[in-house]
Amino acid sequence: MATLTPVRFRHAAQALTTALTALFEATEAELDARARLERKETELLLSGRVEGTNERERRAWLRQHLTQEHESLEAAARVTRAARLQLEHARVKWDALRYGLRLLEATRHQHADTHEHERTPTYP
């Protein structure tokens, strides 16, 4: 097990905070990209320029004419997934430190209890 030091905990906490912030920002960017796409779709649908006799054809036409918006949304979704992965990595590192500390504390308490019984005199 790695050495548990205040510096390691501080770095792990900073990494966790950074990852949470990155995920928030990525999620916001993805929501913005989705809103832009939906706004453009609505504008085109209301303008009457969308071609197609059924929903499937109209969706295909929108997809073809809003390629850039779809690509922006897909890129934003990739960034969000990567940020989520980084957050999970940061959580694993944080949790490993916390569990290591718990184990160390439990081992010390157990060790102290064992030696306490050895030092306690017994009386008949």
pLDDT for position 124: 53
* Entry pTM: 0.78
Residue 74 lies in a domain: yes
Which domain covers residue 88, as residue numbers?
A: 23-113
Residue 1 lies in a domain: no
Domain total for the chain? 1
Residue 37 lies in a domain: yes
Say how far apart CA 41 and CA 35 lie, in whole Å: 10
Q: Per-residue pLDDT averaged across 84-105, rounded? A: 95
pLDDT in tens, 8-56: 999 999 999 999 999 999 999 999 999 999 999 999 999 999 999 999 9
Residue 90 lies in a domain: yes
Q: At what angle do helices 67-119 and 6-47 cross, to 10 degrees?
A: 160
Whether 34 and 73 have beta carbons less than 8 Å apart is answered as yes
Residue 124: its H or E element? none
Residue 88 lies in a domain: yes
Residue 119 lies in a domain: no
Residue 122 lies in a domain: no
Over the range 37-70, which residues count as b (16 or more CB within 10 Å of their CB) and which as e?
beebbeebeeeeeeeeeeeeebeeebeebbeebb
Residue 87 lies in a domain: yes
